[in-house]
């Protein structure tokens, strides 16, 4: 542990007595101020730099495969602080075309006994133009993805126009884009994951990407689709079929779940999407299903319940080219990313892999799919 990690774990009991969203604001603001200090590098975790962790996905090069999942930094306000923790990439958002306040507070709940969170944030964000203005002048220390959603007031019949606007406004500043049709906290959003509406939506987004590419005079950012863990195999195959029809560049598996299972914390009764450790098995099964269904031909980003180097490596061996986390950072503290990357190096060496890419899908035939 370094001094920053010791300080976080000493303060965590007090932070956990605060409302979760209030604590998030306090911590991110403190990190922003810390990284601006002249001697901040003496306090921050030492980055794990090793060529064996380098990987390339959709023509983007990543210094390591561990990224921040969408939801933590919706408006791109904390990029410098988060980059300093050693992430290989950050996914900003979810962002909608128009600003929206999200659902009433409280809307974020910790489940410490389960190392989980429940959120019903509802795509609270400052809107696409605000994020574009910030990204236009932002120093880019690592790849930045942008997760796109629709405004709550936009009916599903018009949803494609919201995603097209997101591509048009934010595409010039993103390293990759994500179509999020899997959040449980926007009424009716998951209905868009059915094959026909999703195909129609993705084809409209792909047309917008082609126009953007012509305007920019360079390729548009690659496109990923984020899927729900609550679909059965038929539902997943329908969404996968739409994604393949539209020739997307990859999939993200998975978003949060509305199921609860065997949880201990009383906050499990709160409405919203569950994330963290209880999601690990289901998310891995979904990813394994997608990898097998595509014979490993479509890049996958694994997210859901990843909390340490072993769970990150298991997701990579099941078929993920990259992994993401959010909830584990709340429980693990600021040195977690460095710990994960050091463990990944040890596991690569143990199994005789010279790179992350070599390990991807190496255990795909082993273990439970859907």
Domains detected in the chain:
3-359 (3.20.20.70)
Q: What is the mean pLDDT of each run of 10 residues along the chain (370 residues)?
A: 84 96 97 93 89 98 98 98 97 98 98 98 98 95 98 98 98 98 97 98 98 98 98 97 98 98 95 98 97 97 98 98 98 96 98 98 84
> How far is 79 from 44, CA to CA, in rounded Å?
15
To which H or E segment does residue 361 belong?
A: none
Q: Which residues are catalytic?
A: 183
Closest CA to 116 of 282, 271, 304, 283: 304
Burial label for 157, CB within 10 Å (0-12, 13-18, 19+), is: exposed
- Distance between CA atoms of residues 352 and 360, nearest Å: 13
Residue from 117, 116, 99 nearest 108 by CA: 117
* Structural tokens at position 197: 């509406």
> pLDDT at position 14, please?
96
Q: What is the pLDDT of residue 272?
A: 98
Helix/strand/coil for 72: coil
Alpha-carbon gap, residue 28 to 71, rounded angstroms: 13
Question: What pLDDT is recorded for position 46?
Answer: 86
pLDDT of amino acid 1: 67
- The answer to whether 223 and 177 have CB atoms below 8 angstroms apart is yes
Integer CA distances (angstroms), 129 to 76, 251, 352, in order? 12, 25, 47
- Phi, psi (rounded to 5 degrees) for 344: -60, -40
Taking phi over 0 as left and psi of -120 to 50 as alpha, with beta for the rest, 333 belongs to left
CA-atom Rg of the chain in angstroms: 19
- Quote the pLDDT of residue 152: 98
């Amino acid at each position: 542990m370094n001094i920053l990690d010791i300080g976080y774990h000493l303060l965590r009991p007090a932070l956990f007595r605060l409302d979760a969203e209030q604590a998030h604001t306090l911590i991110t603001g403190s990190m922003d101020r810390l990284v601006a200090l002249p001697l901040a590098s003496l306090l921050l975790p030492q980055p794990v730099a090793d060529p064996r962790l380098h990987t390339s996905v959709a023509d983007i090069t990543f210094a390591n495969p561990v990224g921040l999942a969408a939801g933590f930094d919706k408006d791109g306000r904390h990029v410098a602080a988060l980059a300093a923790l050693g992430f290989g990439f950050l996914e900003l958002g979810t962002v909608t075309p128009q600003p929206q306040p999200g659902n009433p507070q409280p809307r974020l709940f910790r489940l410490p006994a389960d190392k989980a969170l429940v959120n019903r944030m509802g795509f609270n964000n400052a809107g696409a133009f605000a994020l574009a203005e910030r990204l236009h002048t932002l120093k880019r220390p690592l790849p930045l993805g942008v997760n796109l959603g629709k405004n709550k007031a936009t009916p599903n019949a018009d949803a494609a126009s919201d995603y097209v606007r997101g591509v048009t406004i934010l595409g010039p500043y993103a390293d990759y884009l994500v179509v999020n049709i899997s959040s449980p906290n926007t009424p009716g959003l998951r209905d868009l994951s059915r094959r026909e509406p999703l195909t129609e939506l993705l084809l409209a987004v792909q047309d917008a990407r082609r126009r953007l590419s012509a305007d920019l005079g360079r390729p548009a950012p690659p496109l990923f689709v984020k899927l729900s863990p609550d679909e059965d195999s038929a539902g997943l195959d329908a969404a996968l079929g739409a994604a393949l029809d539209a020739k997307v560049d990859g999939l993200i598996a998975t978003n949060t779940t509305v199921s609860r299972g065997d949880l201990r914390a009383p906050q499990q009764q709160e409405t919203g999407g569950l994330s963290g450790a209880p999601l690990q098995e289901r998310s891995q099964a979904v990813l394994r299903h997608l990898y097998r269904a595509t014979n490993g031909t479509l890049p996958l980003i694994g997210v859901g319940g990843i909390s340490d180097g072993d769970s990150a490596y298991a997701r990579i061996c099941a078929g993920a080219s990259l992994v993401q986390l959010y909830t584990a950072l709340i429980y693990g503290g600021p040195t977690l990313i460095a710990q994960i990357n050091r463990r990944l190096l040890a596991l690569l060496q143990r199994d005789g892999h010279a790179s992350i890419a070599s390990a991807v899908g190496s255990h795909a035939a082993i273990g439970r799919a859907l």
